[in-house]
Amino acid sequence: MISDFLTNPQYGVGFSGASINASTLFGSSGDASLQTYCRALGVAFSPALIDQEQASATLTRWLQILNCAAVWSGGQIKFIPYGDASVTGSGYTFNPNLTPIYNLSDNDYVAVKGNDDPVKASRLDPYSLPTIQRIECLSRPNEYGATPVEARDQSQIELYGPRVGSTIQAHEICDPTGVGAIVAQTILQRALYVRAHFAFKLSWEYCLLDPMDVVTISDANLGLANYPVRIVSIEEDDKGLLTVAAEELTVGVSTPVLYPVAVSTSSPINQGVAADPVNAPLIYEPPPALTGGDAELWLGASGGAGGIADPNWGGATVWVSLDNVTYSQVAMIEQPARQGFLTAALASASGWDTADTLSVNLAESGGVLSGTTATAAQQGVTLALVDNELLAYETATLTGANAYNLTNLQRGMFGASGASHASGAAFTRLDGAIVKYSPPAAYIGKSLYLKFQSFNVWGQGVQDLSTCAAYSYTLTGVGSGASIVAQLSSGVPLDLGLVTQTPIIDGDFGQTVGAIAGAIDLGGTP
């Protein structure tokens, strides 16, 4: 990622690949490269650079998170981890180079002010150091929400009190309990345990030294004998003298132990989950008493598989075609129909039936039924369809999961026949979940193909229309007072049953007789 960030010709910073010391950036098991250090320690990134920021600021933040320094030397940039001990993990071993390049003593230092000690030592006040360090990650288990990860050093807290360091933004990290915990602990340990700092001057003879090199220093006045330090920076003045700043080399500080941390988690909802296909849908032409004399097609559906309702099913888009090739959207079902099947046969009856029981199972739709009063049932408040019989019920008694016994039945409503029904017959409660579609008059007498395209409760996970089953239905126009006229005009055989099923009001009478006269050869007799 660092190499791509620096060198990518499209979105990188335009850094020359030849100016990167690849051996310090890329590596294999057993070396001291940054890549091997990250692999062995278990540090990984998932960066998304979506805000404007100086490239140097981005790289500086990455190096702090990775516990690494970038050093410019010999016309190339080197990436050297602060790792100070061998680390093995994920099949890789990091072996840092801690061999001192020079053993410096009083014979090597340059004293510039009389009797001043050539080695200046300073030590950080432990009361000024943080004992609690926090970094802010984007937690993948918490829908990439900003999540603080905290590292604590309990021994230092007990000695010097709890002090929280500045929170470090590490949105490149999306694993707070793994990577986030390691990074936070590493930053805390370096801040707490690398306390001693040294400064000294050297002559130009040591110009090959680079930051991150390890040397030993000896100073009798400070009680130092071959004390290992890591060079932090080197500055050259106009006289050729090198001012060196170094820090103590505390082995083990940059190899943290992974302590468990508690972070916020959530159970993200998959709003794209696919919805189950519909169960066998309701496609029904109601009588004119329910349509106001208009031709209508009542449509209802529910989603499920294997007789079990799909809790993620949110509805279906209804498509109609005349050729089963080109489909047009005509309706939207937004509630599951309460549909199922009879679990026992129902005898024929008419009127108010108190002797028979209608046993139904609505598991395929997850339907729930409730009863009403006898008067309301007789007026069709609980209207339902069994095969082609319209009926209503007064009492709904739960007998199992989504299973009911319906009693006190109003049979054969709105001119329907109170016929007998076999076990397994289709049952649908006719309520607000049923969509009413008014087809064009030209569709009467024609075969229609209907598809019900499922979607989930979030309006997503839409079923591929090509995979939806096509349900064929021939539209009769039975709900229209002019259905006989429509049949005659369409050329289909006349269904004389419509004469008794459809009330002919005064406004339709002349039109109906005229149509019959035009369709039947009366031999010139008016």
Q: Give me the CATH number covering residue 453.
A: 2.60.40.10
423 and 471 fall within a common domain: no
Could you tell me if residue 120 is inside a domain?
yes
Q: Return d(Cα 217, Cα 248) in angstroms, integer.
A: 10
| Same domain, yes or no: 329 and 358 | no
Rounded CA separation 488/477 (Å): 12
Q: How far is it, in rounded angstroms, from Cα 64 to Cα 352?
A: 83
The span from the CA of 329 to the CA of 336, in Å, is 18
Work out whether strand 389-400 and strand 403-411 pair parallel, antiparallel, or are unpaired. Answer: antiparallel
**194 and 154 inside one domain:** yes
Angle value at C-alpha 514, between 509 and 520, nearest 5 degrees: 125
Residue with tokens 């410096």: 104
Between CA 274 and CA 276 the distance in angstroms is: 7
Q: Which residues contact 383 (CB under 8 A, 6 or more apart)?
A: 390, 391, 392, 413, 429, 430, 431
pTM over 0.75: no
Clarify whether residues 414 and 288 are in a common domain.
no
Listed residues 94, 120, 153: the one ending a domain:
94
Q: Which of 193, 228, 248 is the last residue before a domain boundary?
A: 248
pLDDT-flagged residues of the chain (< 70): 114-115, 258, 260-266, 481-526
Residue 402 CA to residue 369 CA, distance in Å, equals 8
**Same-domain pairing of 232 and 115:** yes
Q: Are residues 467 and 388 in the same domain?
A: no
**Do 333 and 343 reside in the same domain of the chain?**
no
Within a domain: 219: yes
Secondary structure class of 299 (helix, strand, coil): strand
Q: How far apart are alpha carbons 92 and 41 in whole angstroms?
A: 9
Please name the residue that has the structure tokens 């990622």: 1
Name the percent of the chain in helix, strand, coil, to the closest 5: 20, 30, 50
Last residue in a domain, options 51, 75, 94:
94
Residue 516 lies in a domain: no
pLDDT computed for residue 265 by the predictor: 65
Nearest 5°: the CA angle 452, 454, 458 is: 145
Which domain does 127 fall in, by range? 103-248
Quick check: helix, strand or coil at residue 117? coil
What pLDDT does 241 receive? 93
- For residues 6 and 76, state if they share a domain: yes
In this structure, the answer to whether residues 136 and 204 fall within a common structural domain is yes
Domains in the chain, number: 4
- If asked whether residues 89 and 121 sit together in one domain, one would say no
Cα gap 396→368, rounded to integer Å: 10
267 found inside a domain: no
Same domain? 110 vs 215: yes
Task: Please check whether residue 249 is in contact with residue 83, taking contact to mean a CB–CB distance below 8 angstroms.
Answer: no
Quick check: is 343 in a domain?
yes
508 in any annotated domain: no
Is the domain of 110 the same as that of 236?
yes
List the one residue out of 164, 211, 229, 187 whose CA is nearest residue 64. 187
Structural domain includes residue 505: no
Instruction: Give one word for 91, left, alpha or beta, with left for phi > 0 and alpha for psi -120 to 50.
Output: left
Tallying the residues shown for the chain, one arrives at: 526
Per the domain annotation, does 79 fall within a domain? yes
